[in-house]
Amino acid sequence: MATTEAIAGRDADLVRFLDHPPETKGGSRHWLSRSQNVVVEWVEADAGARAFEVASDAESMVLLLTTGAAIEGAGRQVRAAARSLSILPPGRFSIAPDGAGACTVFASTRSDLAGRRVLNQATYAQPDPRVAPVGEPYRRLKAADRIEVIALDAVAAPADNPRLKMFQSATLSINWVEYAGPRDRTALSPHSHADFEQISLAAAGDFVHHFRVNWSKNANLWRDDAHVRVPSPSVAVIPVHLVHTTEGIGPERHVLIDVFAPPRRDFIARGWVANSADYAPPG
């Protein structure tokens, strides 16, 4: 069993999905990874793929990247286009891709993972006590049983934060970061988090994750800076207190999605979360 000291010195989890054999289901390939509070499912569908199911006791998010889909459950059905975010109420839903392409599912809890392989599950054999729990969910203010579909290209980035588009559910928040060509190396954003992990999902393009571990009193836990190149699709789970920033490299389009649970109250307070008016905070 990992000691508290070892957890405090935890490195980032890096999961390169295509390095692992997928689960195959009706013409689609699936990979699962997680942080302490979030489960991520990456899905690549072939043309003609059958519907797959998602079940959660909380709201979940379906991010359709390069294919649309029909989403059905809880007596509701919607059709969502590629480059859209669907927020699903609690329950069981089927997702039928329109054609070949990729999508991803984010949830703070999944009730349908029995017998399935989460690639980095061993990291969380002992929970990190520094990570705050998800806690009481936010409350949707209207149509709580509705499947909400948001077209990403119809949402403007905040004027004072033009690189990001941010959204929330009752228990999650995500940042959609998209740009063409390499990131400006003179304008990176190294930072760390005191009581929550960050998932960074590389969805398009190549990236370098830069990591720095602050020195503790125990020199045996010191780490050299790390600069790790990763392709898409891949996930980096960044633990508490690890200084990090991510740099898109190469001339292609880059898409990086950062995921947090519980929702980022600081981003909501700054007016950066596009759909925050749909929710009331707990308490």
Q: How many CA atoms lie within 13 A of 260 on its CB side?
A: 23
Domain ranges of the chain: 4-275
User: Is residue 65 exposed (0-12), middle (13-18) or buried (19+ Cβ within 10 Å)?
Assistant: buried
pLDDT reported for residue 62: 98
pLDDT tier for residue 220 given thresholds of 50, 70 and 90? confident
Model confidence pLDDT, tens digit, residues 185-195? 999 999 999 99
What's residue 5's pLDDT? 61
End-to-end, the C-alpha distance of the chain in Å comes to 36
Using only C-alpha atoms, what is the Rg of the chain?
18
Q: 3: which 2 tokens?
A: 């000691």
Q: Are 198 and 235 in contact (CB under 8 A)?
A: no
Contact 81, 64 (CB under 8 A): yes
DSSP state of 10: P
Instruction: Determine how many CB atoms are found less than 10 A away from the CB of residue 207.
Output: 23
Q: What is the pLDDT of residue 222?
A: 87
Please give the model's pTM, rounded to 2 decimal places.
Answer: 0.95
Beta-sheet pairing, 279-280 with 139-140: antiparallel
| Neighbouring C-alpha atoms within 13 Å toward the C-beta of 257 | 27
The predicted-structure confidence for 159-197, as pLDDT tens digits, reads as follows 999 989 999 999 999 999 999 999 999 999 999 999 999
Closest residue by Cα to residue 25 from 85, 115, 89, 110: 115
- The CATH code of the domain at 4-275 is 2.60.120.10
Whether the per-residue pLDDT at 8 is higher than 80: the answer is: no
